[in-house]
C-alpha cells in the first residue's frame, strides 16, 4: 500500500545545490542562473555520452564546493540518467569514490533520489547524501530517436530532451532553510499511449494519481501548498493535468507549474511541447525553486518529477508507455 | 513557349514539379494525419514504384514527368522493376536473383561511399531547437 | 485514484495538438516540386554535356545523393528538412541523408563497429523491400513470359 513518508527523526535540509547546462539551456530564460554551461555540449569529452557523465561530475563538484565539502564528507550519492544502464552516472561519478546507488526512473529520477537520500538520513543510516540526475539531448536522440544529422520533422507534441544536470547535497542537521518534510514513492500507471513522442500524455495520469493519493494521506490541505511543480509534462501534459485537477482539486489548477515549460523560450525557438529529461526537473529545481524557497517567496511546494517508463524496443513492440510520479514536499517554514 | 527542345524540357519540368510536389504532399499528409512511421510510408512508396514498373507505367512516366518520378523514392522502386525485367530477359531464371540489386546498385553504392567519406572528415553535431 | 481508461483516452485526444498539415503540405509541395523541377533541368544539362538521355536521370540521382550527403555532413541538411518535411524526405536526398547521418553518428563507436553496423539502419527497410518486391515481380515476369 502506498504510504506517506514523513521525515521526523532528522531535519532534512538542502546544504547546497548546483546546475549545469548546454547550448539551448544557456540560451533559455534560466540561462544566466546556471553555475556552468558549455555551448558545445561536449564538456571536453569525445562523445556526448561521456559528456553527460562529465556534466554530472562537474555538477556534484559545484555543489560540494559551495558546501565546503570533500567527497569523503558525503556518505552516499543517489544518481540516475537516461542512458542504457545509467552509464552516464557511473562513468561520471566513479572518480569521487563516494558510495553509489544507481537509479532508473526516467525523468522522475531526481525526486526519487531526493526521497531515498532523505529516507536513509532520516533512518540514521547516513549523515549526508548527494542527489544527482542528468540528461543529454544528443545522447538521448542517438539512443531513443534518430541520428544527430537526420532531417526529420517533430510532432507538435514532441518534447526536447534537456542537456542539463542538477545536484543537491542533503543532511539531517537542519541548517539549510529549505527542508524536505515528507514524500511519497511513485506508482507505475499505464499512460494508454503507444506514441513515444507524446510523453506528456503518458505521464499526466500518474501525476494526477500521486497528487490525489498524497492529499488523501497527508495532513496538508491543497490550499497550504503554494505550488505543485511537475518535472516534464510539457505544455500538452500540463493541460491534461489541469483538466484532471479541475475536477478533483479546483484550488490547485492555478498553482501548477511544469519545469518542462520553463527551460526554453517558446516565443524565440521551435520548442514544440517543452523540455524533458532527468536533467530538466533537476536543473530547474536548482535554478528556480530552491532559490525561491530560500528567499521565502515560496513556503510549501510539492516537487514531483514525472517519468515515462519505456525503451526503444518496447515502443517498437507497440507497448503502452507507462508513467510514474514520485513526490517530495519541500518547505521553507 | 513549349516548342522546340527547350520548350519540351520546360514542359516536362513543369510536370515534374507537379508530380514530385504531389507525391510529397501525399507523404506529408500520411506523416501528419496517420500513426504510420516515416519508414513505413517510404517503404510503401518504394513498393508502389516497383508496382508502377511492373505495370509498364514507369517508363511512360519517366518520358513525360522525368524527375517527377525518378527523384522520389518510387523512382528507386521503378528502376528496380525495370532492372529485374531486363535481367530476366537477358539471363532467364537467374535474372530473377541478379536483377534487383543491379538496378539499385548505382544509388546504393553512391550513398554508401558518400556516407563513409563524410564520416571520415566530418563529425555529427548536436541537434538544435 | 486513477482516471478511467476511456476517460483518459478521451483526454489524450482532446489535448493532442495536430500538425499544421496545410502549411506543412504547402511547404512539402513547393520544396519537393522545386527539387524535381531543378532535377529535370539538370538532366537536360547533362545531355548537353554528352550524356545519353537514359543515363542523364541516373546522373541527376547521383548528384542529389552527393549534394544531400555533403549538406548532411556540413550540418545544414537537418535545418532545411525541418521546414520542407516530406519535400526532402521522399526524394532520394532523404535516402542519402539517412545513410550519411547514420554513418556520421556511428563514428563515435569506430569505423567498423560504429559506421559499418549503423550505416544502413534507417535505409535498410527501403533496400530490403524494394529488393523483395522486385524479386517477386521477377518471378511473376519470368513465368508469364516463358
Asked if B83 contacts B102 with a C-beta cutoff of 8 angstroms, the reply is: yes
The answer to whether residue B129 sits within a structural domain is no
The fraction of chain A above a pLDDT of 70, given in percent, is: 100
Q: Which three cell numbers stand for residue C61?
A: 540521382
Does the structure show a pLDDT above 90 at A319? Answer: yes
Q: Is A55 found in the same domain as A14? A: yes
CA distance B119 to C106: 8
Query: How many domains, chain B?
Result: 1
Q: Is A159 exposed, middle or buried (0-12, 13-18, 19+ CB in 10 A)?
A: buried
Q: Is A102 found in the same domain as A8? A: yes
Contact B31 A153 (CB under 8 A): yes
Query: Chain C contacts of B31, Cβ < 8 Å?
Result: 85-86, 89
Query: How many domains, chain C?
Result: 1
CA distance A191 to A276: 16
Contact A138 B35 (CB under 8 A): no
The answer to whether residue B74 sits within a structural domain is yes
Mind listing the pLDDT tens digit for each residue in A176-191? 999 999 999 999 999 9
Does the structure show a pLDDT above 90 at A195? Answer: yes
Q: Which domain holds residue A317?
A: 179-331
Q: What is the pLDDT along chain C (146 residues), one digit of tens a residue?
A: 788 999 999 999 999 987 788 999 999 999 999 999 999 999 999 999 998 988 999 999 999 999 999 999 999 999 999 999 999 999 999 999 999 999 999 999 999 999 999 999 999 999 999 999 999 999 999 999 88
Query: How many domains, chain A?
Result: 2
CA distance B78 to B72: 10
Please tell me the distance in Å from A148's CA to the nearest CA on chain C: 7
Does the structure show a pLDDT above 70 at A206? Answer: yes
Q: Which three cell numbers stand for residue A20?
A: 549545469
Query: Chain B contacts of A43, Cβ < 8 Å?
Result: none
C145 three-class SS: coil
Does C102 touch chain A if contact means CB atoms closer than 8 Å?
yes
Q: Is A323 found in the same domain as A302? A: yes
CA distance A189 to A227: 23
Residue with cell 535505409: C123
pLDDT value, residue B101: 84
The answer to whether residue B128 sits within a structural domain is no
CATH of the domain at A72: 3.40.47.40
Q: Taking the alpha carbons of A133, A139, A142, A147 in that order, is the dihedral positive or negative?
A: positive
Query: Chain B contacts of C100, Cβ < 8 Å?
Result: 111, 114-115, 118-119
Using CA coordinates, name the residue in chain A closest to C108: A47
Does A52 touch chain C if contact means CB atoms closer than 8 Å?
no
B105 three-class SS: helix
Touching B (3+ Cβ pairs <8 A), the chains are A, C
Q: Taking the alpha carbons of B19, B33, C86, C57 in that order, is the dihedral positive or negative?
A: negative
Q: Which domain holds residue C128?
A: 5-144
Which of C17, C78, C82 lies nearest to residue A156, judging by beta carbons?
A: C17
Contact A48 B126 (CB under 8 A): yes
Query: Chain C contacts of B85, Cβ < 8 Å?
Result: 137-138, 141
Query: Chain B contacts of C24, Cβ < 8 Å?
Result: 28, 32
- The residues that bridge with B123 in the sheet, in sequence order, are none
CA distance A253 to A235: 14
CA distance B98 to C131: 10
ipTM score here?
0.94
The two counts, helices (H) then strands (E), for chain C are 8, 0
Contact A146 C72 (CB under 8 A): no
Q: Which domain holds residue B48?
A: 4-121
Mind listing the pLDDT tens digit for each residue in A155-168? 999 999 999 999 99
- The residues that bridge with A21 in the sheet, in sequence order, are A37, A164
Q: Is A167 found in the same domain as A187? A: no
Mind listing the pLDDT tens digit for each residue in B87-119? 999 998 999 998 888 888 999 999 999 999 999
Contact A148 B127 (CB under 8 A): yes
Does the structure show a pLDDT above 70 at B2? Answer: no
Q: Look at residues A160, A162, A163, A98 and name the one whose alpha carbon lies nearest to residue A131.
A: A98
pLDDT value, residue B104: 87
Contact A148 C3 (CB under 8 A): no
Q: Look at residues A158, A78, A161 and name the one whose alpha carbon lies nearest to residue A118.
A: A78
CA distance C62 to C59: 5
Model confidence band, residue B1 (pLDDT cutoffs 50, 70, 90): low
Query: Chain B contacts of C130, Cβ < 8 Å?
Result: 46-47, 49-50, 76-77, 80, 100, 104
Q: Residue A300: which residues within 8 A CB-CB, separation 6 or more?
A: A220, A224, A225, A226, A329, A330, A331, A332, A333
Q: Is A121 found in the same domain as A85? A: yes
Using CA coordinates, name the residue in chain C closest to B65: C40
The residue out of A147, A171, A195 marking a domain boundary is A171
Please tell me the distance in Å from C8's CA to the nearest CA on chain B: 19
The residue out of A139, A171, A203 marking a domain boundary is A171
Does the structure show a pLDDT above 70 at B29? Answer: yes
Please tell me the distance in Å from A17's CA to the nearest CA on chain B: 27
Amino acid at each position: 500500500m502506498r504510504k506517506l513518508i514523513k521525515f521526523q527523526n532528522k531535519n532534512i535540509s538542502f546544504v547546497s545545490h548546483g546546475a549545469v547546462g548546454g547550448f539551448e539551456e544557456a540560451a533559455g530564460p534560466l540561462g544566466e542562473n546556471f553555475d556552468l554551461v558549455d555551448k558545445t555540449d561536449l564538456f571536453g569529452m569525445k562523445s556526448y555520452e561521456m559528456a553527460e557523465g562529465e556534466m554530472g561530475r562537474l555538477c556534484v563538484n559545484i555543489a560540494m564546493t559551495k558546501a565546503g565539502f570533500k567527497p569523503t564528507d558525503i556518505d552516499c550519492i543517489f544518481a540516475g540518467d537516461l542512458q542504457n544502464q545509467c552509464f552516464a552516472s557511473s562513468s561520471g561519478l566513479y572518480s569521487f569514490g563516494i558510495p553509489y546507488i544507481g537509479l532508473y526512473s526516467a525523468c522522475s529520477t531526481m525526486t526519487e533520489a531526493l526521497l531515498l537520500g532523505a529516507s536513509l538520513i532520516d533512518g540514521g543510516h547516513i549523515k549526508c547524501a548527494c542527489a544527482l540526475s542528468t540528461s543529454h539531448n544528443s545522447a538521448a536522440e542517438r539512443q531513443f530517436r534518430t541520428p544527430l544529422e537526420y532531417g526529420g520533422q517533430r510532432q507538435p507534441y514532441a518534447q526536447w530532451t534537456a542537456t542539463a544536470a542538477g545536484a543537491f547535497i542533503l543532511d539531517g542537521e537542519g541548517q539549510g532553510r529549505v527542508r524536505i518534510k515528507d514524500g511519497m514513492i511513485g506508482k507505475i500507471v499505464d499512460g494508454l499511449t503507444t506514441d513515444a513522442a507524446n510523453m506528456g500524455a503518458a505521464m499526466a495520469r500518474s501525476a494526477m494519481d500521486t497528487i490525489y493519493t498524497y492529499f488523501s494521506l497527508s495532513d496538508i490541505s491543497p490550499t497550504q501548498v503554494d505550488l505543485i511543480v511537475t518535472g516534464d509534462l510539457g505544455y500538452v501534459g500540463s493541460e491534461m493535468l489541469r483538466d484532471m485537477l479541475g475536477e478533483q482539486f479546483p484550488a490547485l489548477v492555478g498553482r501548477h507549474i511544469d519545469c518542462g515549460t520553463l527551460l526554453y523560450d517558446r516565443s524565440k525557438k521551435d520548442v514544440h511541447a517543452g523540455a524533458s529529461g532527468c536533467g530538466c526537473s533537476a536543473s530547474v529545481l536548482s535554478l528556480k525553486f530552491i532559490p525561491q524557497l530560500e528567499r521565502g517567496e515560496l513556503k510549501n511546494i510539492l516537487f514531483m518529477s514525472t517519468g515515462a517508463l519505456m525503451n526503444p524496443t518496447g515502443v517498437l513492440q507497440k507497448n503502452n508507455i507507462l508513467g510514474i510520479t514520485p513526490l517530495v514536499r519541500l518547505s521553507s517554514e | 513557349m513549349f516548342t522546340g527542345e527547350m520548350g519540351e524540357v520546360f514542359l516536362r519540368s513543369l510536370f515534374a514539379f507537379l508530380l514530385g510536389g504531389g507525391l510529397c504532399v501525399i507523404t506529408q499528409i500520411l506523416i501528419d494525419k496517420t500513426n504510420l512511421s516515416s519508414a513505413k510510408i517510404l517503404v510503401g512508396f518504394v513498393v508502389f514504384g516497383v508496382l508502377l514498373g511492373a505495370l509498364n507505367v514507369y517508363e511512360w512516366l519517366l518520358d513525360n514527368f522525368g524527375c517527377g518520378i525518378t527523384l522520389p523514392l518510387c523512382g528507386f522502386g521503378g528502376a528496380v522493376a525495370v532492372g529485374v525485367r531486363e535481367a530476366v530477359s537477358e539471363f532467364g531464371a537467374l535474372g530473377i536473383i541478379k536483377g534487383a540489386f543491379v538496378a539499385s546498385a548505382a544509388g546504393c553504392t553512391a550513398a554508401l561511399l558518400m556516407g563513409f567519406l563524410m564520416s571520415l572528415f566530418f563529425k555529427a553535431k548536436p541537434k538544435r531547437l | 485514484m486513477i482516471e478511467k481508461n476511456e476517460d483518459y483516452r478521451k483526454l489524450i485526444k482532446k489535448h493532442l495538438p495536430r500538425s499544421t498539415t496545410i502549411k506543412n503540405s504547402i511547404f512539402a509541395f513547393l520544396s519537393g516540386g522545386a527539387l524535381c523541377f531543378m532535377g529535370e533541368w539538370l538532366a537536360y544539362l547533362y545531355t548537353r554535356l554528352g550524356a545519353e538521355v537514359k543515363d542523364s536521370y541516373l546522373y541527376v540521382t547521383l548528384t542529389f545523393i552527393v549534394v544531400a550527403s555533403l549538406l548532411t555532413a556540413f550540418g545544414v541538411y537537418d535545418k532545411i528538412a525541418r521546414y520542407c518535411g516530406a519535400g526532402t524526405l521522399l526524394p532520394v536526398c532523404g535516402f542519402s541523408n539517412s545513410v550519411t547521418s547514420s554513418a556520421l553518428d556511428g563514428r563515435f563507436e569506430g569505423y567498423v563497429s560504429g559506421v559499418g553496423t549503423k550505416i544502413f539502419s534507417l535505409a535498410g527497410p527501403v533496400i530490403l523491400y524494394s529488393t523483395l518486391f522486385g524479386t517477386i515481380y521477377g518471378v511473376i515476369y519470368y513465368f508469364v513470359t516463358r
